[in-house]
Amino acid sequence: MFPDNIMSDAAPRLPAPPIARRVPRIDVVHGERRVDDYFWLRSKDDPEVHTYLNAENAFTDAVMGPWQGVAAGLYDEMLARIKEDDQTVPYRRGGYLYYSRTEQGKQYSITCRKAKSLDAPEEIILDQNALAAGHPFFALGASTVSDDGHLIAYATDLTGFRQYTLHIKDLRTGALLPDRVERVVSLAWAADSRTLFYVVEDEAKRPYRLYRHRLGTLVDELVFEEKDALFHLGVERSLSRRYLFAQSASFTTTEVRFLPASEPEAAWTVVLPREHNHEYHVEHWMGEGAEDLFYIRTNGGGRRNFRVVTAPVADLRPARFVERLAHRDDVMLEDIEVFARHYVVQERDDRSAMMA
């Protein structure tokens, strides 16, 4: 399926590709010297950057122009094999069943819910197609519904620069609240449905600050700032919904803080202080009549493939650890999800990856 003239002697001569000028920028981080010749291309408002990018686009159009028919044919063929009208498996949270679905001819998914039963009328809580209308680009970032089911917090990018703006929508009226925050990366509601924790990124796009936001307030409270440039910060809610976790993580080291979701004004507590080359992940479990436990997937003590231990939330000293899954030299324990009556682990060895 080659265009008739793409390999012939009569093929049009292509223009020379544009060459970006080199302007060395030197940064010294942790004693390491780094030179970036193209840092100037980060200046999105610089007319010279626009001129260069337009030249890149023109060159791409010239090179790929003869292939437009082939590309259109491949797209149509792939689209014919995709189920455009599709729906995810519903999951229950609070008094609702949540799911998302897609519609034929529409580019984005639609988030929906039904009260108590799948036989109930559908409520659309977030239609990405409507949010994208009139914009040259659209992407949905983090999103989460408050515990009372009245509000949804979500972040959108309308520029393509992966800079997300936080919005809060009242699901009872469909109206947007005036609360709005720029450069939000992750977010999680407290149990009171009026306090929202979120993390923002710095100019280098590193998530680094955790804030506490109360609905209707103009000034948010800085809870924690990750000052080490090697670490990224994120916030999430436990599957049990009882705790919030704020995780600082580099490629080889982790530190997790937790907060009871029912106590949004309380101080955050460190699970295990950061230790070089120690990675860990925390989930919460509380069985009927049992004590609060954290399930911790950890590679501490040189156990590079990780093991799983539990510890009482009230006493997280390593002396209280109970091993649930031992470390194995030939199996990597990649993830664990903890539910009310069971937990699921994801493992990988030299032959395959598996769920157990």
Nearest CA-CA partner of 303 in 328, 275, 323: 328
Average pLDDT over residues 266-283: 97
Residue 259 inside a domain? The answer is no
Residue 56 inside a domain? The answer is yes
Nearest CA-CA partner of 262 in 136, 147, 145: 147
pLDDT of residue 6: 52
Average pLDDT over residues 298-311: 94
According to DSSP, residue 158 is labeled: S
Task: State the total domains in the chain.
Answer: 1
Residue 148 inside a domain? The answer is no
According to DSSP, residue 288 is labeled: T
pLDDT of residue 247: 98
pLDDT(4) > 70: no
What is the residue whose two structure tokens read 């590679």?
A: 299
Residue 45 inside a domain? The answer is yes
Longest alpha-carbon distance in the chain: 81
Supply the range of the domain harboring residue 78. Answer: 1-82
Q: 54: which strand partners?
A: none
pTM for the whole thing? Answer: 0.84
- Express each pLDDT in 140-190 by its tens digit: 999 999 999 999 999 999 999 899 999 999 999 999 999 999 999 999 999
Residue 48 inside a domain? The answer is yes
More confident residue, 37 or 290: 37
Q: Residue 8 — very low, low, confident or very high, per pLDDT cuts 50/70/90?
A: low
Q: Which helix (H) or strand (E) holds 130?
A: helix 128-132
Nearest CA-CA partner of 127 in 115, 116, 143: 143
What is the residue whose two structure tokens read 């223009």?
A: 15
pLDDT of residue 263: 97
The two tokens of residue 260 are 């009871």
CA distance 120 to 117: 5
Residue 92 inside a domain? The answer is no
Nearest CA-CA partner of 154 in 162, 163, 144: 144
Average pLDDT, the chain: 92
pLDDT of residue 3: 57
- Express each pLDDT in 183-242 by its tens digit: 999 999 999 999 999 999 999 999 999 999 999 898 999 999 999 999 999 999 999 999
pLDDT of residue 79: 85
Q: What is the DSSP string of 14-58?
A: PPPPP-PPP--EEEEETTEEEEETTGGGG-TT-HHHHHHHHHHHH
Q: 158: which strand partners?
A: none
What is the residue whose two structure tokens read 């769920």?
A: 355
Cα-atom radius of gyration of the chain, to the nearest Å?
Answer: 25
**Which residues lie below 8 Å from residue 165, measured CB to CB, with a gap of 6+?**
155, 156, 157, 158, 180, 181, 182, 183, 184
Residue 180 inside a domain? The answer is no
CA distance 188 to 180: 15
Residue 353 inside a domain? The answer is no
The two tokens of residue 103 are 């519609």
- Express each pLDDT in 94-114 by its tens digit: 999 999 999 998 999 999 999
CA distance 20 to 58: 14
